[in-house]
Structure 1
């Protein structure tokens, strides 16, 4: 389609929406991975049976960053003489 990196392009969205409907009509279970909450809800409304809204590595990384931010200011640098 020529829209790599632009999943929200109207042509891409039309193709995804059409696919969800056709897959349901064929008696199969359509699903998709999408990080955009509005699009995830739209796909569920269209009949997607599963919508993955997060990637495990990204979720873990964000949680680790948040934890480090909460404790980072209190942590002291440890410089061991020997490893």
Structure 2
């Protein structure tokens, strides 16, 4: 029985080391794989630029739109 348990433990250790090597190799392959990375980066940057453009445009036009809305609704902004 002891011989069987020793073999089982040895096989388990070999299996664990083999699994570790497979995982490490998969991680290294993933690190070196650059397919699709540039497309994702470009998409994120375009979304960021679009959001910043909208925020800047809103900051520039907010006062003008508020004044126009006050004129349309007949409310005074108090800046006359």
Structure 1 length-normalised TM: 0.30
Relative to its length, the structure with more strand (as a share) is 1
Structure 2 length-normalised TM: 0.31
Q: Which has the larger radius of gyration?
A: 2
